[in-house]
A and B are shown apart, each in its own frame.
Chain A
């Protein structure tokens, strides 16, 4: 039980700065997911919390105590690795007991803790096996068992599900969520998979190139992305972006290549008559009769998914493809025209220069 706070963390490898100042407070019992594309520095942040990487600048505190100088073992954390990192020559029992043995815990207590963890994770019948005799999912559970028995203040997960097949991943995701609810231990979870992030996290930290783009609950991040990057990264299929210009009175947007869209609430005067990027999620378009305030789409191709149909098309000759998601099955011919409207509150506006969100 502990909260973790990161205060202005920087990390450099030699001359190369990879983390450019991250601050975040992780509350007691919270499940935080750090999400971002490969190479954005998310694992580095986790490894700094674990103590496996030296912090170049800034402080990390666990339960109010700065841990920068502490060895990983003294930080009272436990970590699950992507490749499980089980000791191959030890049985499941010994793998789980090893950390306790090093800490010179009495034998009886080790036995009890391991048995309890094995019961929670349904590993009891595998305690005598070696890791190589287990399936991927079971190995993953052993790795978690090794953390649970330590009863740490913080759990750290480094892409723990990415070596599993799709079906098992869904199942383990659920188990992880349940485990977190049972144990209530503060967890930091690193992943590049947005579905994992959305389903597991109480809050997400979305990172790109060593910067934090947004910190917020899954819904906040989906409904009010703070930057163009977050908007494009969260959601599948990805959000569509159109370039445009805000009108002088701040009440509508001129899209290049197609008509204008009404904006509500009206834009702040600062942004009037400025270049903006408009984002619309594929699921937020609706079909409308031709007329003002609609976007014209020339159908290019369809993807029929059963429950939904994804329509890909262009708004004009020069525009790039964008996507529309319609419920049920539809059948449009290539080249046919659709007219789409978006309700004003579903529009996401971003400053073209800074990429930051405009309005609320």
Chain B
């Protein structure tokens, strides 16, 4: 719609600005809180950033808060490993299973297809007890594999790639056969480069999904050295009768926001392209 009415322009901008403010205000408050000393925040909440920025962040990254026993730095590393593991694992496994389902005629193909489909109805929360039992029996509690593997299977991503592969013309596969390439070669040389924009888009979504995992890491990690940042922040709040280190918690929260934001910023172009463009 293209309309040229001044008050309409004003109204639309006003609404947009209001929206931005509503979203930005809590983040701003968090930021402000992370730059003051604990006494300042707990007595009278300030509206302008204070002078303890570097000090607070340094403490969070290197010392941590209260009884948690892990620094934000190490927890961020754990979160990063988990998020990357989940994103990369999900993408690789979905690509391969979609490839199998679309390009191979094997026995029980549809059966496996529906099996994958059914897992859509079984998110982590539903299957949490059996999954925990399996992970515990495999001695994977308190390990990166325990954090990552149970979250890797993804019906959604498999479907996304299946849809994409089905739009790739059959002739491409046939031309490749005539050119003399085998199936895996077709996968790596043709399909993978062709789906790179979808992969990028999915990576952004899955990285954030992995980074924001809370329930599962909470269950499988008992050892502080495997705490992810989100668990860490929750633990910082569990101080019972004592006083939570709000300035450190707020600094940790700000830090927790950084990697997903960076991923979005750096992959924005591919992300948008992956969502809109189909290159064939």
Contact = CB atoms under 8 A, between A and B. Distances in A.
Given A83-B169, A83-B171, A88 B280 contact: yes
Interface stretch (B41-49, B111-119, B172-180): B172-180
A73 B178 contact: yes
A85 to B, nearest CB: 4
A98 B179 contact: yes
B151 interface: no
Interface string A222-233: 000000000000
A51 B177 CA distance: 9
Nearest to B169: A83
B169 A73 contact: no
Contacts of B178: 50-52, 72-73, 77-79, 99
A103 B180 CA distance: 7
A166 interface: no
B175 A89 contact: no
Interface string B185-229: 100011001101000000000000000000000000000000000
B279 interface: yes
Contacts of B193: 89
A292 B245 CA distance: 117
Contact of A102 (B174, B185, B196, B279): B185
A99 B172 CA distance: 13
Nearest to A79: B178
A339 interface: no
A158 B180 CA distance: 19
Nearest to B180: A73
B179 A73 contact: yes
B149 to A, nearest CB: 32
Interface in A67-82: 71-74, 77-79, 81-82
A99 B179 contact: yes
A102 to B, nearest CB: 5
Contacts of A71: 177
Contacts of B181: 73, 98, 102
A146 B177 CA distance: 13
Contacts of A72: 174, 177-178
A73 B178 CA distance: 5
Contact of A81 (B174, B180, B279): B174
B60 to A, nearest CB: 44
Contact of A87 (B172, B180, B196): B172
Nearest to A84: B171
B194 A88 contact: yes
B174 A85 contact: yes
Nearest to B280: A88
A309 B175 CA distance: 46
Contacts of B174: 50, 52, 72, 79, 81, 85
A248 interface: no
A132 interface: yes
Contacts of A132: 279
Interface residues of A, number: 23
Chain B interface size range: 10 to 19
Nearest to B196: A89
Interface string A110-132: 00000000000000000000001
B279 A73 contact: no
B126 to A, nearest CB: 40
Contacts of B175: 79, 81, 85, 87, 146
B10 to A, nearest CB: 42
Contacts of B194: 88-89
Contacts of A87: 172, 175-176, 189-190
Contacts of B280: 88
A81 B179 contact: no
Contacts of A74: 180
Interface string A79-107: 10111010111000000001100110000
Interface string B74-94: 000000000000000000000
A10 B194 CA distance: 37
Given A87-B190, A88-B280, A89-B194, A102 B172 contact: no
Contacts of B196: 89
A71 B177 CA distance: 8
A73 B279 CA distance: 27
Contacts of A52: 174, 177-178
B177 to A, nearest CB: 5
B279 A99 contact: no
A96 to B, nearest CB: 10
Contacts of A85: 169, 171-172, 174-175
A299 B234 CA distance: 93
A150 B163 CA distance: 33
A75 to B, nearest CB: 9
B101 to A, nearest CB: 21
Interface string B259-280: 0000000000000000000011
Interface of A: 50-52, 71-74, 77-79, 81-83, 85, 87-89, 98-99, 102-103, 132, 146
Given A71-B177, A89-B194, A102-B179, 4 more contacts: A50-B178, A73-B177, A102-B180, A102-B181
29 contacts: A50-B178, A51-B177, A51-B178, A52-B174, A52-B177, A71-B177, A73-B177, A73-B178, A73-B179, A73-B181, A78-B178, A79-B174, A79-B175, A81-B171, A81-B174, A83-B171, A85-B169, A85-B172, A85-B175, A87-B176, A87-B189, A87-B190, A88-B280, A89-B190, A89-B194, A98-B179, A98-B189, A99-B179, A146-B179
- Would you list the 5 A-B pairs with minimal beta carbon distance, nearest first? A73-B180, A99-B179, A85-B171, A85-B175, A89-B193
